[in-house]
Amino acid sequence: MHISSHTKPLALIAAKAHEVLISRLQSAGYDIQYALPSDETKWKQSVSEATGIVIASGIRIDEDFLSSAPALRWIARLGSGMELIDTAAAEKRNIKVVSSPEGNANAVGEQALGMLLSLMHKINSSCQEVIAGKWIREANRGIELSGKTVGIIGFGHTGQAFAGVLKGFDVTILAHDKYVFGFGNKRIREASLEQVLRYSDVVSVHLPLTSETRHYADDTFFEQMVQKPYFINTSRGEVVDTESLVRAFEKGWIKGAALDVLENEQLDSYSVEENNRLDYLLSLPEVLITPHIAGYTHEAFYKMSLTIAQKLEL
């Protein structure tokens, strides 16, 4: 039988966390241990002794994991996606689960706006032309955001943050959320999904990944886009069916796409088909892809850890 070497409760840190969270845990009387699943021996021992665990994306907390962590009392998810945590199983064991979507929502909103303006004003694509020695003005006339209709699908923390950073623009905002109502005001109109897709010049997705939202943006979704909008996804890659996105360009259903996430973000694991789809998208000047960095600012790094500390009442 393994006897714990810890006289204090143990907080297992399995993600990059800001010092503000670490120091608050220590002040609250926790021993701190850093471990990742890749360090199998240390991981198993740490999990078996941990009172709490701090994770980001990439670590699955399911029934098997919980069975190996008998002392666990809380799970802290830095960020927003809860798809890797079996929250029902944790609840049954009286394990508190907290996340920090408030911490990086503004960062995501700013990136969505930045990517959109880059696409509409051809900032990145024309810069690439200048790098290649081409000075082309006429073909690089931009489109102004002011006066347009922006559709936001999912009106939680990041959807609201995107609406917030749009305040400086004269835009009509149509927002749709299947589970949230009563948020409409002078600036924001509650709308059905059909209305968002029919009337929007820009459609931005802010959804969690669930069985209901996987491949939410499919052929039927893109085909309903009457205005040929710019499409933005800063939520989860699997919310979008990449094949359908490729078809949306081939069929002229959309003008451009800004993606901070991909269906498969392990580029070195790509099949021939996945590589072909990504190469096609990257070949289009009206596509911007960034490596899942929208919620990854220095400020968000601090705010997410602070939010976790506050929710754990440290």
Active site positions, annotated: 236, 265, 292
Q: Is 258 helix (H, G, I), strand (E, B) or coil?
A: strand
Dihedral sign computed on CA atoms, order 155, 209, 235, 192? negative
- Using DSSP, how many helices (H) and how many strands (E) does the chain show? 12, 12
Strands 202-205 and 172-176: unpaired
Q: How far apart are CA 186 and CA 94, in angstroms?
A: 42
Among the listed residues 177, 232, 178, 168, the one whose alpha carbon sits nearest the alpha carbon of residue 200 = 232
According to the 3-state scheme, what is the secondary structure of 182-198? CCCCCCEEECCHHHHHH
Give CA–CA dist 67/237, Å, rounded. 30
Q: List, edge to edge, every strand of the sheet that includes 10-13.
A: 31-34, 10-13, 52-55, 74-77, 96-99
Instruction: Give the start-end residues of each E strand in 127-280.
Output: 149-153, 172-176, 188-190, 202-205, 230-233, 256-259
List the one residue out of 252, 192, 195, 199 whose CA is nearest residue 222: 252
